[in-house]
Amino acid sequence: MGMELEHLKTLVAIAEEGSLSAAARRRHLSQPAVSMQMKALEDTLGTRLMHRGTRGVNLTTAGEAFLVHARRALQTLDAGRAEVAEVEGLSHGTLRLGATDAATEIFSAAFLRLHGRHPGIEVSVEIDATAALIRSLRQARLDLVLGTLPVNEPDVVEEELVEERLGLVAPRDSRITSLPELLAREPFIAYPRGSTTRALIERAMAREGLVPRPVMEIGRPTIMAQLVASGLGVSVLPESVVRPLVREKHIQLVSYRRLQVNRSLGLLTLKRQPLDPAARAMRDILLASQR
């Protein structure tokens, strides 16, 4: 009988338990079966691995030397099994991703890379405000969240991906003399109350003594930009969203150096909650794309 993995497991059990009977119980074997396995292993190696004494079983010098390699072999096997499981998971896994409207551009590029590497992964996306997405993350309804930073939640891990600038935009035909006059005259299309982006905008405006007149709250920058283009009012929006509309002269970007609003978008996960293979793959792609 040649060397088998079960023999290595039994040798480790004997070394750690110090007796054949205890090793047999741990391995769910009979004591004669344990003895037979050790005899087969010794025959294969051509040397004694243990000797019995009044205080139990002790490994010989050769046994102690071989024990190191037995443990290493079993660890390698465990690592290989984990890697196979991960590859198997990536071949037909699922990923539940939450993203704010502002983060969809980041997600789109990362999804193309994920699909190219692991086409079997099925992805579902929930678009909502960062706070709502974090609630879904805590309820185990999502695996990863792409949201607005900072969230300052003790159980949430924040990893910044990109910083973007927000600018004040107005309908193309708006007459602009000064920013205070524009905000006093034009209705303001705001982010939802309680959102991180709204808080950033309000702090920036308060520093300059500016007072907007919100007439609508909405959390979708693309829709907000369209409302500005239709003449409903003004808003502070990401330049990446409004750039095409500005270029096509549907809206105008108001130049006002003192009003600077910057926000970060990042990856949000929960502390002490391990990611499954599909989520880890997406996280790796997102972080690598921003280096």
Q: Which residue has the tokens 């609630």?
A: 135
Same domain, 254 and 123: no
Residue, of 109 and 136, whose pLDDT is higher: 136
Among the candidates 90, 115, 141, a domain finishes at: 90
Same domain, 84 and 118: no
Among the candidates 90, 105, 130, a domain finishes at: 90
Give mean pLDDT, residues 222-246. 92
- pLDDT score of 12 more than 80: yes
Same domain, 132 and 270: yes
Same domain, 86 and 105: no
Among the candidates 63, 90, 117, a domain finishes at: 90
Find the range with the poorest average confidence among 26-30, 225-229, 271-275. 271-275
Query: What domain range is 237 assigned to?
Result: 164-263
Q: pTM to 2 decimals? A: 0.63
pLDDT band at 41 (very low <50, low <70, confident <90, very high): very high
Query: Domains in the chain: how many in total?
Result: 3
Kindly report the three-state secondary structure assignment for every residue of 137-165. HHCCCCCEEEEEECCCCCCEEEEEEEEEE
Same domain, 20 and 140: no
Length of the chain: 291
- pLDDT score of 1 more than 50: no
Same domain, 141 and 270: yes
Same domain, 136 and 277: yes
pLDDT digits (tens, 9 = 90+) for 150-207: 898 999 999 999 998 999 999 999 988 888 999 999 999 999 888 888 999 999 999 9
Same domain, 39 and 112: no
> For residue 110, what is the domain's CATH number?
3.40.190.10
> For residue 85, what is the domain's CATH number?
1.10.10.10
Same domain, 76 and 34: yes
